[in-house]
A and B are shown apart, each in its own frame.
Chain A
Amino acid sequence: GAVVSQHPSRVICKSGTSVKIECRSLDFQATTMFWYRQFPKQSLMLMATSNEGSKATYEQGVEKDKFLINHASLTLSTLTVTSAHPEDSSFYICSAWTPYNEQFFGPGTRLTVL
């Protein structure tokens, strides 16, 4: 199947700092990527849809000024958690659609805010 990577896999930061997470489609181009958040023992909750060359579409209740998304190329989307606080600690997962109408997920990024 298609490969989606995320970097970093783990990040620990101090409260008030900003953290950038990258999502890359390695062997295909993706005009649309999605960002999810998953709390322990819970399901994936969609945060936003990232569209190449245009603004992201955020789900209800997700602060767009706090979770900045940039889809600068057909293989890269970034999620920046600004002024992170302990309640932002979570597992962040991205996904990307292939040209064959299949959605593949990245391995996730564990964010811990101290």
Chain B
Amino acid sequence: GQQLNQSPQSMFIQEGEDVSMNCTSSSIFNTWLWYKQDPGEGPVLLIALYKAGELTSNGRLTAQFGITRKDSFLNISASIPSDVGIYFCAGQRGGGATNKLIFGTGTLLAVQP
């Protein structure tokens, strides 16, 4: 199945550092979503973006919907140990329940105290 390109593949940082990851696609999406997955758990929604150019924050997390609608990025400021996990972007072409999500390849984040 199709997947979105997500980078970096993994990051190993010190507590307190800022983190940036991005997701790119060869085609346009109308919705971009960012999820975090802890080991052995399902993904949890962090931020949803619905409009090109939109910049949305959720606490220390900020995400942007790229102007071209083919990319998105997620920033985490002042990382803490509980930020550890796998972060996935996901794109959706149309709105509504019948439109499936296409997931990115994931970014593994490790935070050293």
- Considering only residues 40-75 of chain A, those with a C-beta below 8 Å from chain B are 42-46, 49, 59-61
How many residue pairs bridge A and B at CB < 8 Å?
A: 57
Tell me the dominant secondary structure on chain B's binding face: loop
Query: Contact residue range for chain B?
Result: 20 to 34
Report chain B residues within 8 Å CB of A93. Answer: 42-43
Complex Cα–Cα for A68 and B67 (A): 40
A105 to B36, CA, bound (A): 11
Residues A43 and B100 in contact, CB atoms below 8 Å apart: no
Q: Are B106 and A43 in contact (CB under 8 A)?
A: yes
**Interface pair B41/A43, CB less than 8 Å apart:** no
User: B100: nearest residue on chain A (CB-CB)?
Assistant: A46
B3 contacts chain A at the CB level, 8 A cutoff: yes
- B32 touches A (CB below 8 Å): no
Partner of B98, one of A49, A106, A110: A49
**Do residues A43 and B42 form an inter-chain contact, with CB atoms below 8 A?**
no
**For chain A residues 63-97, which have a beta carbon within 8 Å of chain B?**
91, 93, 95, 97
Q: Which residue on B lies nearest to A93, using beta carbons?
A: B42
Contacts of A4 in B (CB 8 A): 42
User: Which residues does chain A contribute within 8 Å of B34, judged by CB atoms?
Assistant: none
Chain A residues, Cβ within 8 Å of B1 = 45-46, 59-61
With A43-B104, A46-B100: A102-B88 Cβ-Cβ less than 8 Å: no
**What are 12 A-B pairs at a CB distance below 8 A?**
A34-B100, A44-B103, A61-B1, A91-B40, A95-B42, A102-B45, A103-B33, A103-B45, A104-B45, A105-B42, A108-B40, A108-B42
Question: A1-B45, A102-B45 provided; 15 other pairs, C-beta below 8 A?
Answer: A34-B101, A43-B105, A44-B43, A46-B101, A46-B102, A49-B98, A49-B100, A59-B1, A97-B96, A97-B97, A101-B95, A101-B97, A105-B35, A105-B43, A108-B42
